[in-house]
Structure 1
Amino acid sequence: MRTFLSKVPVLALIALAACGQPHSDKRVIVFGVDGMDPEMLQERIDRGMMPNFKALLADGGCTFNGQPQLSLQTSWPPQSPVAWSNFITGVNPGKHGLYDFIHVDRSNYGIVSSMSETSDIGSEMHLFGYTLPLSGGEQTLTRQWPAFWEVMSEDGIPVAVHRMPANFPMKETTAVTFPDMGAPDLLGAASGKAYLWSDDLMNRANKDSDSSFVRTVEVNKNRPGLWKVNTKMYGPENTMLDQRDLLAEEHAALELGNKVKAAQIRGQMANEREVSTAITLRVDLTAEEPMLAVDIDGAYGICAEGEWSQWVPIEFEMIPGLVSLSGWTRFLFKSAEPFEVYASPVQIDPFNPAMPISTPESAAADLAKAIGPYYTQGFPDAYKSYKAHLLETGEFVSQSDTVFEERALMMDYAMGEFEKTGGLLFFYTGSLDLRCHMLWHCQDDKHPHQEPAGEHNGVPFELQIDRVYKQVDSMLGDLLAQIDTVDAALGGKTEVIVMSDHGFASFRRKMHVNDWLIQEGYLVLKEKGDTGLIMATGHHDDGTVDFDTSMVDWQKSKAYSVGFNNVILNRIGREAQGVVSDGAAADILAEIQTKMLALRDADGVPVLTSVEPASKVFQGEAVFLAPDLQLGFNVGYGCSDESASGTVTGDAWLVDNDSRWSGSHLMDPELVRGIVMTRAPHALSKDPSLEDLTATLYGLFGVDSPVGTDGQPLFQ
């Protein structure tokens, strides 16, 4: 256990109160473990792998109707941004407005982020070759209900939230908060945009995606044993450049029908907007093992082959001499032959953030001063790089271990602050969730995706999910030991709640929902056999959407799907090309529901176990904007990435999931419930839900919950 706590004298607490810092004698800690499954947890407790969870259950735990209660109702649908928003607010999606990882843009049937939105640029000023926005362009949170920390801190309760999914950008609050899922890297990529440099021309090619830059490079080997690669890393595009003249040239080229000239001008504009910083990769083969030294303007990252460098600072000049953005990155020396170097996404600099990454804004720097640079982006475990085969299994586990170790340091820091203030502390870890998503295939010999066996640091790949469960158990043990120290110093007993947002299961078969809707005649293509995005991709000169650029005949289409657990009706007055009236909606939904519940795999297994209208599972003013039908997949089944992004594949509607993304929870909520545990024994008033935990927190501190809160206090 890391020791850091010291007893805080009563006089020090009095001094803190006199300085105006909130303080509470009541102490509650919520430990949020993303993706922890009650059945998987119990099975590992029974195997003797989880001594701290076992002790917590033995000494405390929950009961309902006289029976042990470990499971927690998750959200409809059981997706992290939805589930955590239910917990954040204490209400269902019909009130807070988040229904999926992805929301549909009903103006063109494309996709938008469910968690945040950016307003259009308003007035601008043009000065010295730059266009400076004077209004608009703000990114705001889409959540439509107050968070528990906002309500409680307004009531004078000290609240600290150390990483919370679906909470970026953050709203102003007197609570201390750090975001997680949804918080971007310095480039603005929600899950980060990594780098891979390689001279393996047979297996790698230059490629940009939403999550990576892959660059083939020529290694300078002129000096024996001392190699060098000159390359660069990218900052955010410089959208402040005044490109009005080039835009006019592009428009003129299009007016003349010269698409080639227009494309050349667009390329020129993109090149001018590029912001980059030169870096040098040096390899020394003269030592006992190959060594990499990365030089970024005199700052060095050094590591051996197969190892990671320390954090390295990097700066991008946006306006020469005036505006620059700083960040941090780490390098993995994958191999010398072939030459391959990987770099983590550039993190927002917590010492000098380009945008707020904490409340108050100074909290990010305070944390960095205590523990050093850290992953500021949400979902920092490099799951996208692993999914895209930029990282191998051991490399992914190694990077995820670093994230987990950082979280342990954050927990220590949070506990030090909690000892001073009391009140409510929420602490979150997400590595278990992402390793279950990405490593399930290693332990599931029936999964379609299989890779050669291997190990990392002596632990076989098939035992890595066991290992991350044990890591979380150790973290819980450290947390409980530190809580004991606080209780001994201050007196009283801290209430502890351990919870997760959902459980987990194998994801072996995926459904192309849009392809099924085409098969059944609900989604109609203009040309049979077309594949691609269903959205309209073009616009008229006046800026309105040109639906001739969509391959879908929307005037004949009754339903479509955008997102992971739904079917959406093409409704009049809601969709841009809606054809389904309010009067016809119920019958169409009932028909689709009946057909979907009858779907069977080739071996007779039901593909879906629950299909429910939005009006049944959601309540509130935002229900009309919800996807009309909620799909509860059976264990082993889920929606394809292609369908979730609004794509028609042309394949069969049900196919194997041959992907490293092999575990999932986007299923029937009853099949992937979360967990709830308490340090003190509690008889619960009802079958617990995420919203009930929120109401329970309000009750523990005697704070009135907002009118309309769905949750009910659990402790009798």
Structure 2
Amino acid sequence: MSEPHLLAYIGPGGGFAVVSSFFVVFITILIAIPSLLVFPFRWLWHWIRYAGVRRRRMTRRVVVLGLDGLDPNVMEQMIAAGELPHLASMTWRGRLATIAPPLSPVAWSSFATGTYPGSHRIFDFVHCNPRNYQPYLSSVEVRGASRAIRLGSIRIPLGGGTMKPLWKGEHFWDILGRHGVFSTVLRVPITFPAKAKRGHLLSGMCVPDLLGSQGISTLFTDAPARIDDEEEGRVVRIEVRDGAAICPLTGAADPYRVDERPMKVDLKLTLAGDRRSAVLQVGGRRVRLKLCRHSEWVPIDFKSVFGGVGGMCRFYLSQIEPHVKLYATPVHIDPAKPALPVSHPTTFGIFLAKLFGRYATLGIAEDTSAYENGAIDGPGMLEQCYLAHEEREKQFFHALRATREGLVVCVFDTPDRVQHMFWREHDAGDQTLRDMYRRMDDLVRRTRAAIDDDTVLLVMSDHGFNAFRRQVNINSFLREKGYIVRKAPAGGDGDGAGDDPTWLRGMDLSKTVAFGFGLAGIHINRKSFFAAGVLNDQNAAQLKKRLIADLEALVDPATGEKPIAKAQDAAEIYAGSPYADAAPDIIVGWRPGYRVSWESAKGQCMGPVFADNKRHWSGDHCFYPPLVPGVLLSSIPIESDAPRIVDVAPTVLRLLGVEAPPHMDGRPLVDTGAATGGSAAEPAVISPSKSAPEKKDEPVATHVG
């Protein structure tokens, strides 16, 4: 999953990285030495203490293979055509009810906790701060040192920074850990900062880059070029002289400088005489660049007043003539010497880097913004997706070899990214998307070959996919209907035109009663939630009913279609949950083909209500949940006609001998007498007619067949 970076810069972050990177490995080694000495005694105690869990378990190991965004409709079409034999031969397959809203951080958090969003408190990629109406990353808060000693232009931080997870609840692998079950968890979203009670974990979506952002790339070019929004990348103008150019790469702010001047490294680019390649000099390292091919990961050391910090980039030379275009990925945290806790224990991520080489650590490693702004082309985008995929395959199959008992979970983002960026080509008959599905089918084949009969395999996706052809500026609609009042333009009065600042800054919030924010939510400007709210709860409830009716009556004049399938009242769908009040008041459920516009998602309110989506990002999943279910395939029978994503966690717990705690919203999909391990039974495909009735707008799992 994933969307464009709605809030790309979440600083400071990088300052903490510089302060902490020197100590992290050293401290980990110190902790490991006494652990090794007492290991035999701990092993014996563990064997005795958790004997009951081993007796109750239904299988020795569970493997969860997450294929983010794999769509049941595309999958079934290709199965019918005989193109996905290994997915087709799983013992059980069906649709998996996703969550409202069906966004990757929300859905995977429900997978990890077995609860609905009102319990884990993740409702979008970004949330609206009730104190100042500005966005903040929903998953984690990263802060630098709060105090420092100032000596002229130099500041010395006192203490380290802090990283505060903002999600609530407990991941099911930590519940297993409390019962002595070992887990290896790879790249599940919303797991940063990395931690695990018993096992290994490599964090996924929402790991920042070295700047503390969610991914800011750089384009070095001597051509006239600009990117208006830094959230989507930077352009650095270079001058090519005698076939060479200096490319200054910007890193994090120097935490030891009062002015927080960014650290920089000068890279030297030398073009080959044949104009088909180049050499990039990074410190003492020379990296050969081939035209239109990504480089290997290149370590980069940024120097500060005291010490420095290391990161890494890949480079992509997309053009030499008539102008040079050199793309640098966002500066990833280097897993070989991590500046932030991207793995648990820290040595686990370092071990993987030593074993297989450096690998992507950024939460959204596939840079869709670079494809949108022209820094890389379509083949470069696709190559970047599969480079990250191949890195993860190595880690996954190593986990299968190393974790012979307990739990292995790995999420692959490739289906999500490829469908986001190449759905329009798929609609036109291109094979890029279908090739990706064939590749996922082969991944399932190799996974099944790597496990034994005492392992249960679950293959799943968090949501499906469909076309995104028309975008709707919800805030423009709200402005036209009188819910939003624009600020008066400078020197004028009334609801004026002019520029359209992001994140509500163009709205008069003393008069605005409702606004769209993020990819799925609409907030009522309530006094009980916002510091400058204008409506009491009674008036807000009345306005909500009217607004829901207005939204569901909206019609696209170009097509005659209603773009909104259902505007869901968050108070109803999250009723009884501890954090329901933190959710947007209305969750918009779109029909396939429609989605909130890029401008409205960032809190802008000018421009037309409807517009064609002309971006490469042409597939999406921000739809009404029953219209975009995920998939679930199992090596054993599933005892449900309508499985939900919240049911996966309690199912895994039961299979491994642990009953789900009462706070979980999900229920196990197997009973204690079910067969375990790989089965040669005839594949079971559940008919749509057997789906359960809908309850409280919870998405219904309609099964394939």
TM-score by length of 1: 0.82
Q: How does 1:239-250 map to 2 (within 5 A)?
A: 239-242=255-258
Superimposed CA distance per residue, residues 619-661 of structure 1 (whole angstroms, 9 cap, x where no aligned partner): 312111110111100110011121111111x222121111111
Aligned twin of 1:481: 449
Which AA in structure 2 matches 1:61? W
Which AA in structure 2 matches 1:239? P
Q: Is the 1:195–1:214 contact (alpha carbons within 8 Å) kept by the matching residues of 2? A: yes
Aligned twin of 1:200: 223
Aligned twin of 1:626: 583
Q: Is the 1:205–1:216 contact (alpha carbons within 8 Å) kept by the matching residues of 2? A: no
Look up the SS of the partner of 1:112 in the other structure: strand
Look up the SS of the partner of 2:566 in the other structure: strand
In the alignment, structure 2 segments of 5+ residues that lack a partner are 1-37, 48-53, 489-494, 672-705
Look up the SS of the partner of 2:43 in the other structure: coil
Instruction: Note if 1:432 corresponds to 2:456.
Output: no
Aligned twin of 2:281: 295
Match of 1:279 among 249, 263, 267: 267
Superimposed CA distance per residue, residues 101-155 of structure 1 (whole angstroms, 9 cap, x where no aligned partner): 1211122222111111245853333357432333584121111111111111121
Which AA in structure 2 matches 1:617? I
Q: How does 1:84-233 map to 2 (within 5 A)?
A: 84-118=108-142, 122-127=146-151, 129-134=153-158, 137-171=161-195, 173-190=197-214, 192-201=215-224, 204-205=225-226, 209-221=230-242, 227-233=243-249
Aligned twin of 2:683: none
Aligned twin of 2:698: none
Match of 1:646 among 603, 620, 625: 603
Aligned twin of 1:10: none
Q: Is the 1:301–1:331 contact (alpha carbons within 8 Å) kept by the matching residues of 2? A: no
Look up the SS of the partner of 2:304 in the other structure: strand
Pairwise CA RMSD of aligned residues? 2.2
Instruction: Note if 1:516 corresponds to 2:504.
Output: no
- Alpha-carbon offset, residue 280 of structure 1: 0.7
Match of 1:533 among 501, 508, 513: 501
Q: Is the 1:316–1:325 contact (alpha carbons within 8 Å) kept by the matching residues of 2? A: yes
Aligned twin of 1:341: 326
Q: How does 1:556-595 map to 2 (within 5 A)?
A: 556-595=511-550
- Alpha-carbon offset, residue 555 of structure 1: 2.8
Instruction: Note if 1:444 corresponds to 2:427.
Output: yes
Aligned twin of 1:42: 76
- Alpha-carbon offset, residue 175 of structure 1: 2.6
**Structure 2 Cα separation of the partners of residues 616 and 353 of structure 1:** 43
Give the direction of change, closer, same or farther, for the CA distance of 1:494–1:443 in structure 2 (3 Å limit): same
Q: Is the 2:101–2:622 contact (alpha carbons within 8 Å) kept by the matching residues of 1? A: yes
Q: Is the 1:693–1:714 contact (alpha carbons within 8 Å) kept by the matching residues of 2? A: yes
Aligned twin of 1:539: none
**Structure 2 Cα separation of the partners of residues 534 and 326 of structure 1:** 33
Instruction: Note if 1:55 corresponds to 2:89.
Output: yes
Q: Is the 2:528–2:537 contact (alpha carbons within 8 Å) kept by the matching residues of 1? A: no
**Structure 2 Cα separation of the partners of residues 132 and 560 of structure 1:** 42
Which AA in structure 2 matches 1:398? E
- Alpha-carbon offset, residue 709 of structure 1: 1.0
**Structure 1 Cα separation of the partners of residues 113 and 467 of structure 2:** 30
Look up the SS of the partner of 2:234 in the other structure: strand
**Structure 2 Cα separation of the partners of residues 361 and 679 of structure 1:** 33
- Alpha-carbon offset, residue 391 of structure 1: 1.2
Q: Is the 2:472–2:611 contact (alpha carbons within 8 Å) kept by the matching residues of 1? A: yes
Q: Which moves more between the two structures, 654-663 or 330-339?
A: 330-339
Superimposed CA distance per residue, residues 504-526 of structure 1 (whole angstroms, 9 cap, x where no aligned partner): 01001111111111111111223
Give the direction of change, closer, same or farther, for the CA distance of 1:643–1:137 in structure 2 (3 Å limit): farther
Look up the SS of the partner of 1:233 in the other structure: strand
In the alignment, structure 1 segments of 5+ residues that lack a partner are 1-14, 63-69, 222-226, 243-268, 446-460, 537-549
Superimposed CA distance per residue, residues 245-272 of structure 1 (whole angstroms, 9 cap, x where no aligned partner): xxxxxxxxxxxxxxxxxxxxxxxx4xx6
- Alpha-carbon offset, residue 395 of structure 1: 1.3
Give the direction of change, closer, same or farther, for the CA distance of 1:123–1:298 in structure 2 (3 Å limit): closer
TM-score by length of 2: 0.83
Look up the SS of the partner of 1:32 in the other structure: strand
Superimposed CA distance per residue, residues 39-63 of structure 1 (whole angstroms, 9 cap, x where no aligned partner): 111111112221211122xxx115x
Match of 2:634 among 666, 669, 678: 678
Give the direction of change, closer, same or farther, for the CA distance of 1:654–1:703 in structure 2 (3 Å limit): same
- Alpha-carbon offset, residue 313 of structure 1: 1.5
**Structure 1 Cα separation of the partners of residues 401 and 637 of structure 2:** 26
**Structure 2 Cα separation of the partners of residues 230 and 525 of structure 1:** 45
| Matched-pair identity in % | 30
**Structure 2 Cα separation of the partners of residues 503 and 707 of structure 1:** 29
Match of 2:253 among 237, 250, 253: 237
Aligned twin of 1:636: 593
Q: How does 1:491-506 map to 2 (within 5 A)?
A: 492-506=453-467
**Structure 1 Cα separation of the partners of residues 75 and 496 of structure 2:** 46
- Alpha-carbon offset, residue 586 of structure 1: 2.2
Instruction: Note if 1:709 corresponds to 2:670.
Output: no
Which AA in structure 2 matches 1:519? E
**Structure 2 Cα separation of the partners of residues 474 and 16 of structure 1:** 39
Look up the SS of the partner of 1:443 in the other structure: helix
Which AA in structure 1 matches 2:408? L
Look up the SS of the partner of 1:637 in the other structure: strand
**Structure 1 Cα separation of the partners of residues 41 and 262 of structure 2:** 51
**Structure 1 Cα separation of the partners of residues 584 and 160 of structure 2:** 29
Which AA in structure 1 matches 2:303? E
Q: Is the 2:227–2:233 contact (alpha carbons within 8 Å) kept by the matching residues of 1? A: no
- Alpha-carbon offset, residue 359 of structure 1: 0.5
**Structure 2 Cα separation of the partners of residues 690 and 581 of structure 1:** 35
Look up the SS of the partner of 2:265 in the other structure: strand
Which AA in structure 1 matches 2:223? D
Q: Is the 2:269–2:281 contact (alpha carbons within 8 Å) kept by the matching residues of 1? A: yes
- Alpha-carbon offset, residue 701 of structure 1: 1.7
Instruction: Note if 1:330 corresponds to 2:314.
Output: yes
Q: Is the 1:301–1:311 contact (alpha carbons within 8 Å) kept by the matching residues of 2? A: no
